Amino acid sequence: MATTATHAGGTVEVLHWWTSGGEAKAVGELKKSFESQGGTWIDSPIAGGGGDAAMTALRARVVAGNPPAAVQLKGPGIQEWARQDVLSDVDEVAQKEQWDKVLPPVLAAIMKYDGKYVAAPVNIHRVDWFWANPAVLAKVGISEMPKTWDEFNDDADKLKAAGITPLAHGGQPWQDATIFENVVLGIGGADFYRKAMVELDPNALTSDTMVKSFDQLRKLRGYVDANFSGRDWNLATAMVMRGEAAFQIMGDWAKGEFLAAGKKPGVDFVCAPTPGGAFNLNADSFTFFKVHGADRLEGQKVLASLIMSPGFQETFNLAKGSIPARTDVSLDKFDACAVKSHEDLLAAIENNTLVPSVAHEMAVPRSVRGEFLDLVTKFFNSDMSSVDAVKELAAAVKRAQTE
Ligand code: BGC
């Protein structure tokens, strides 16, 4: 498929947090395509998985009245910035190219403010995945991926008894929250997840199901190595690659790392959804901020068109570990993990089991997400009881909502 865009030229400054091996490769494809259209790309990478450092940098740039033209920014954050009147729309491009016809409605809605596109989606990432090294699993006779958290615990106990670190993990708040939300989804199911984590219902937040979820998180804490604290997510992926740990619980950007290191899916590493029979959604998008001057405005249009071109969506997502945001791009060149993601996504839309990730900024306002991350991390790094955790979580969420 050709990577075509309607416009040519322009300058664009792009703020993003794609700095790991797989991420850098993927964003490199965007830069290359943009430059091949005659455009000038100004790269502003802010390292830090999950994007918390990037969002802090963005705030400073907007306050200084000098925002970058395009920002890796997603979910409700798009609406939050739009309400501040600092975004520019690319609706002319979107209408001309009929984006509404090729995007899942749930994604299209996130990209629009006041009915106009202010952002363009690059992908659909799935958050609820186990990644594992099959050779390490084989050492203790595990030949199938776990289907329930109890099965995972049994596997992990076997690995631990054999002196193998069951779970590669990086102790950073967003990573703690990533594993926790997957646990909630597995223990409570999609309806419960929505009630507790999206609607923030106090009864759901303090329910037995939530207590059980914290109990399972406590178990996971017992399966990580001694040096987990502060470790970057891609270093945790590397532990699985090198056979220093068996599993990682992480979104499919981890697959981008395996692929960038030349590892083969189904051979060197295996994937399986974490329990829950649902789909935990995270979608990256570029949001367009108000810039001035014909050259910069042109740059935004070129980038918007390029991001949504079928050829780019294919190339980018092959490197990133995700699947295209466009529904009309063939998955012929994609691996079995991507095909599984796509099938499960369609089933989740059909069965109403598609849920937005809290850790990855798809579900709740930043203030609520912040309280959630703080509490989960506090629990992970202390001996707080699960009963105290649910009480503290409910109180913290309420505080964030009334602030
Ligand atoms: C983003 C991914 C990124 C990951 C780790 C997620 O929130 O959506 O694109 O690879 O963080 O940095």
**pLDDT tens digits, one per residue of 330-352:** 999 999 999 999 999 999 999 99
Ligand 1 atom 5 nearest Cα: 49
Query: Given the CA of residue 49, which atom of ligand 1 is nearest to it?
Result: 12
What pLDDT is attached to residue 365? 92
Q: Is the pLDDT of residue 1 over 80?
A: no
Sign of CA dihedral 300, 109, 333, 237: positive
Amino acid at 296: R
Beta strands, E only, 180-278 = 245-249, 270-273
Distance 158 CA to ligand 1 centre (A): 31
Mean pLDDT of 354-382: 96
Q: In what order do the strands lie in the sheet with 123-126?
A: 323-324, 123-126, 279-282, 354-356
Whether ligand 1 lies within 6 angstroms of the CB of 181 is answered as no
For the chain, what is the mean pLDDT?
96
Cα(65)–Cα(86) distance, rounded to whole angstroms?
A: 9
- Number of other CB atoms surrounding residue 108 within 10 Å: 17
In percent, the amount of the chain with pLDDT more than 90 equals 96
Cβ atoms of 29 and 316 within 8 Å: the answer is: yes
φ and ψ of 384, to 5 deg? -55, 140
Distance 183 CA to ligand 1 centre (A): 19
Q: In what order do the strands lie in the sheet with 270-273?
A: 165-167, 245-249, 129-132, 270-273
Q: Tell me the β-bridge partners of 15.
A: 44, 71
Whether ligand 1 lies within 6 angstroms of the CB of 255 is answered as no
* Buried/exposed code over 74-106 (b: 16+ C-beta within 10 A; e: otherwise): bbbbbbebbeeeebbbbbebbeebebeebbbee
Query: Given the CA of residue 321, which atom of ligand 1 is nearest to it?
Result: 10
| Structure confidence by residue, pLDDT tens digits, 91-124 | 999 999 999 999 999 999 999 999 999 999 999 9
Q: Is the pLDDT of residue 28 over 80?
A: yes
What pLDDT is attached to residue 4? 45
Cβ atoms of 390 and 211 within 8 Å: the answer is: yes
How far is residue 97 CA from its own chain's centroid? 26
> In a mutational test of the pocket of ligand 1, which residue from 235, 252, 257, 284 has the highest number of ligand atoms less than 8 Å from its CB?
284
Query: Given the CA of residue 360, which atom of ligand 1 is nearest to it?
Result: 7
Cβ atoms of 285 and 78 within 8 Å: the answer is: yes
Amino acid at 279: F
> In a mutational test of the pocket of ligand 1, which residue from 125, 237, 285 has the highest number of ligand atoms less than 8 Å from its CB?
125
> In a mutational test of the pocket of ligand 1, which residue from 15, 17, 232, 259 has the highest number of ligand atoms less than 8 Å from its CB?
17
In percent, the amount of the chain with pLDDT more than 70 equals 98
What pLDDT is attached to residue 9? 82
Whether ligand 1 lies within 6 angstroms of the CB of 314 is answered as no
Cα(215)–Cα(202) distance, rounded to whole angstroms?
A: 19
What pLDDT is attached to residue 83? 97
> In a mutational test of the pocket of ligand 1, which residue from 360, 362, 369 has the highest number of ligand atoms less than 8 Å from its CB?
360
What pLDDT is attached to residue 403? 79
Whether ligand 1 lies within 6 angstroms of the CB of 174 is answered as no
Cβ atoms of 326 and 308 within 8 Å: the answer is: yes
What pLDDT is attached to residue 2? 44
| Structure confidence by residue, pLDDT tens digits, 216-262 | 999 999 999 999 999 999 999 999 999 999 999 999 999 999 999 99
What pLDDT is attached to residue 8? 62
Confidence of residue 402 (pLDDT cuts 50, 70, 90): confident
- Please tell me the total number of residues recorded for the chain in this structure: 403
Distance 284 CA to ligand 1 centre (A): 8
DSSP secondary structure string for all residues of 170-187: -BSHHHHHHHHHHHHHHH
